[in-house]
Structure 1
Amino acid sequence: MDDSQATSDSQTAVETPSPATTFIPPSIDRSALLTGASSTHFSPVPTSLQATTPDDPSTAPPCALGVDEAGRGPVLGPMVYGVFYLPLTLSDLLLRTTHHFDDSKVLKPDVRSSLMRILCTPDTDLHGSCGWATASLSARDIAANMLRPAHAAAYNLNAQALDATVELIRGVYARGVNVQEIYVDTVGQPAAYQARLQRFFPSARITVAKKADSLYPCVSSASVCAKVTRDAALEVLHESRAGKDGCSDDGTMAWGSGYPSDARCVGWLRSNMHPVFGWGPECRFSWGTAKDMLEVKGKGVRVDWPDEDDGETSRLTDYFSSTTGGADKESSELGGWFGSSAGLEAF
């Protein structure tokens, strides 16, 4: 095994939690997950972060807010955006020194779950000083937006991500939190993305940077919230498909991490594909991995949905005659049901 393969296998292990150790946070909406719907969750705002003067957020402690996502690339499961906020003065001390938050990709699954559990447990320092929120963009909605018909504008993943980010931050502001600094991790061009966000939130100091999840503690914490929520979502979805006994020998989910680069994921997709419907709400049908299995490799049944009117579809107005009087009695039958003939002009 070469170094690159060892690195890939190590990363896959970090991305593949074991159901036995995964914490199910309150951000998991089981009903939405199992029906393929997207969902959002906002934690209660800690008392320590609330304004001393009602309806005046400026009297609340100044806060830093971090934004990060988990699950941008997988073919299975939701993409989850997370935000995390706390007082500016506590960021490094509480998150880095005391609890050792870091980019979720370098933390083991059980460490991520442990941090999330503390955050969600009353009477802990994290629960009393920090707030968080997530937006889970379901696989179904991601695919439906990206596969819009030709006559409709495509809603690509970047646009969906921006809208999710903006709505989460707006939700935090709407709850009275005095957010003064915003830090965002990005995979695109930081300057352009920062300028777009600045137009939405002109009063905040915004920093957008690559690897922000390693540079800024509040972004690291947001990445943990997003990743644990995605891990738990995958577990709930997997259990609904495979049952509690559907795990691999090592205790992990049979479909692995859900990434196309994971052989377990590709093998599961290949073995569990319905020839007409493909897969359930856990799958992003717009991803090449899924499309190839359904179309290119010929394992799926092709269904063509005509976009144009073929001339054979009846319209409601076809039942009403444009003639008046007694002419063509049969064609005006529906219009005469109430005792007198009615033409189209009556409608």
Structure 2
Amino acid sequence: MKHRGNILQLGIKELRSLWRDKALLLFVAFAFTGLIYVVSSATSQELNNAPIAVVDEDQSPLSKRIINAFYGPYFKTPDIISLPEVDPAMDNGSYTFVINIPPYFERDVLAGKQPDLQVNIDATRMTQAFIGDGYIQNIIGTEINEFVKGYRATYVYPVQLTSRIKFNPNLTSVWFGSVMELMNVITMISIILTGAAVIREREHGTLEHLLVMPLTPFEIVVAKIWANGLVILLAAAFSLFVVIEGFLHVPIHGSAALFLFGAAIHLFATTSLGILLGTQARTMPQLGLLIILILLPLQMLSGGITPRESMPDIVQNIMLVAPTTHFVKFAQAILYRGAGWEVVWPYFLALLAIGTVFFLFALARFRKSVAQS
């Protein structure tokens, strides 16, 4: 009971300390609200208002028909430019696509000569370039076929192809981006808060005060974990229900309670990692550098951005010891596919094992740093 009381009071002290740090508190609030909203809504993966220009050297009804086929919201209204303007316009990034319709294009099409039509693509705008290329080919092909036949017809395939897009039927990138950003923010803020809590104790001289009290390193570490983890878990719940489900209108297919329970286990691992980094760093700038080195691989290689199956085998195996790998797995399974306990319990167990290892390392390192103080 004495240990529990000490852990409770130390945790309350952590919460009060965080409440007095208005800058850090404001950062946490923005990360779980504005950052998630902006990142998920601004980084759309759909083709939207792509800048396009056309060099019309044919000046025929067919070329006019092709130009008028490009309209919003996929493309901006095409600009008509001359052939010498193509290279400067592409070099300065004015257009993602420039279509060059050659002279006598309509005549050659009607004569069955299959003339070439050039499409210049700025591949530095990777997402627009990849998606837009398919759109352009489909639009031009449809308009040419309709012009030649004199009517719009749909080709009937000998086999009926039925596609069923599950979990995101409209392929809306906001549905994916918002949840993934929430997972990234949970990981990032948990490491920052606990690492900063350790550094703050050292910089403010309160660590020495704790050392003269009848407290153990175990009690201090556990108090920092539960206090900071509680703040992040409450912020994550608010973000999930208010920002993601409320403002962004992303449907939650599975149990939010099960997701938050798994997030709590994930926070046990990441807050322990934050304490470990806080004991290694001596100042906040050092902590920031360590977090960058650790956080980027955790987020980039977790499977949230690029599927794990697309990564080299050695990277997949190494990332099995990373908490974010299992966090992404069960979060996607619950929130996207409505998975239950029978599906996600292996990820919870793996996270608990990883968190225990991080906690033991953090506790040992904290004891060593306390002994050196």
TM-score over 0.5 for the pair: no
TM-score norm. by structure 2 comes to 0.22
TM-score norm. by structure 1 comes to 0.23
Between structures 1 and 2, the one with greater strand share: 1
- Computing the radius of gyration from Cα coordinates, the structure with the larger value is 2
Between structures 1 and 2, the one with greater helix share: 2
